[in-house]
Amino acid sequence: MTPNMFAEKHYPEVLHPQDLDRYLARGWYRMGQTMFTTHFLCFGQQFFSAVWVRLPLSGYRFRRSLRKLHQKNANRFRTRIQRGSITREKEQLYQKYKSHFPGILAPSLRDSLLDGEDFNIFDTYEVAVYDQDQLVALSYFDRGRAAAASIQGIYDPAYRKYSLGFYTMLAEIEACQQDGLSHFYPGYVVPGYDRFDYKLRIGEVEYYDLSSGRWRPLQDWNGEAGPLMAMERKLAGLQASLNRHRIPAKKMFYPLFEANLFGFWTTTFFDYPVFLHCLTAQDEEQYVVAVYDVRQEVYKLVACTPFEEVHFYFNDSYIGNFDPEFFCMDLLVPEQLLAESADPEAIVMGLF
């Protein structure tokens, strides 16, 4: 599982508990019946870093506000933790939740969890919350050997005031801690986009540092630690070097960076969210781009060619949302590494 791409998906036919642990420890997560990772996101026309977080469970205790919420709902509702399943009642709750959800969700609960199939390669449990005999909230979590991942939480919008989506996550954490698991993975947070910040409320989480491949305490985080900001900062320095040598280069954002997650072709696509388009190449059929790889902490000069079948991945309405003056909307395939160095001047020399 050495990271080759920023956005990648695997299709395991069988997933043993220890395999799930290893995936989670490298910043991977479940998508239907696959495992994927990504480190960048695009909402509207804004780009963000996706920062994976986890909660160490050894010695963990709910702080006072969490204990209060947990106890209040535990007293108010009936809560059952059991093997995960999909029923008509749960599908009906999913549709209620989906009708009020501000974003895009899968058409059904079965589609969301199982990609529409009947099998499940994960060891999935559920937290089901009832108001008397009515199912009002539901969440699913996958268990490995030593860790667990929170996958999905839904609730009846009529019960919004009870924070049942967050309550079921607390119930998952409690169950995992009681069973002696070491870590709980709630997914990613997005600096600068607070929709996912509720995951930070659970306690003293760690974040996955992409540059080192290690988990670090969130209190060590600084605003410039996100991979996207690091890329932009380094590319600004490279662009200054190019300008000094009078080499034209244009900063471009690349909304198609997640094409590798779709899996229609065996081609490996370019997956950097931002790059410098170096305008010295004479071949109009080829891009020469400069990127900064935050994992290896090096600049790379890469020759890419456009992939003609872009519409297998992205429709016209999506592509039309972006101004080609600032966004590259050609689906790129990296063809050749032209230069690689931690020194921006070496990249400049690669263009002569």
Helix, strand, coil in percent for the chain, rounding step 5 = 30, 30, 40
Report the share of the chain in percent with pLDDT over 90. 79
Mean pLDDT (whole number) for 150-170: 97
pLDDT at residue 277 in the model: 95
Does one domain contain both 188 and 259? no
Does one domain contain both 206 and 305? no
Give one DSSP letter per residue of 7-23, joined into a string.
Answer: SEEE--S---HHHHHHH
- Any residues with CB less than 8 A from the CB of 5 and at least 6 apart, and which? 260, 268, 271
Does one domain contain both 330 and 248? yes
Mean pLDDT (whole number) for 64-74: 97
Does one domain contain both 34 and 86? yes
Does one domain contain both 131 and 167? yes
Final residue belonging to a domain, choices 189, 205, 220: 220
102/84: higher pLDDT: 84
224/299: higher pLDDT: 299
CATH number at residue 29: 3.40.630.30
Is residue 150 left, alpha or beta, with left meaning phi > 0 and alpha meaning psi from -120 to 50?
A: beta
Is 1 within a domain? no
Final residue belonging to a domain, choices 199, 220, 241: 220
Give one DSSP letter per residue of 285-300, joined into a string.
Answer: T-EEEEEEETTTTEEE
95/319: higher pLDDT: 95
Does one domain contain both 211 and 89? yes
Lowest mean pLDDT, pick from 107-111, 208-212, 231-235? 208-212
Does one domain contain both 160 and 25? yes
Is 234 within a domain? yes
CA dihedral 240, 246, 248, 250 (to 10 degrees): 10
Report how far apart, in Å, the C-alpha atoms of 308 and of each of 45, 285, 305, 330, 333 are: 23, 11, 9, 8, 10
- pLDDT band for 265, please (50, 70, 90 cuts): low
Report how far apart, in Å, the C-alpha atoms of 151 and of each of 124, 187, 245, 256, 287 are: 9, 8, 50, 25, 39
Question: What integer best gives the mean pLDDT of the chain?
Answer: 92
Structure tokens of 205?
């989480």
pLDDT at residue 1 in the model: 33
Strand, helix or coil for residue 48: strand
Residue span of the structural domain in which 327 resides = 227-349
Does one domain contain both 332 and 294? yes
The closest alpha carbon to 255, from 50, 102, 72, 44, belongs to 44
The C-alpha atoms of residue 309 and residue 314 are separated, in whole angstroms, by 9
284 pLDDT more than 70 = no
- pLDDT band for 153, please (50, 70, 90 cuts): very high
The C-alpha atoms of residue 169 and residue 317 are separated, in whole angstroms, by 36
Do strands 183-189 and 147-155 pair parallel, antiparallel, or not at all (unpaired)?
parallel
pLDDT at residue 310 in the model: 76
Does one domain contain both 255 and 170? no
Final residue belonging to a domain, choices 187, 220, 253: 220
Does one domain contain both 30 and 179? yes
Lowest mean pLDDT, pick from 88-92, 183-187, 194-198? 194-198
Lowest mean pLDDT, pick from 3-17, 133-147, 180-194, 326-340? 3-17
Q: Quote the number of domains for the chain.
A: 2
Structure tokens of 203?
């306690």
- pLDDT band for 103, please (50, 70, 90 cuts): confident
pLDDT at residue 4 in the model: 65
Does one domain contain both 164 and 42? yes
Does one domain contain both 16 and 80? yes
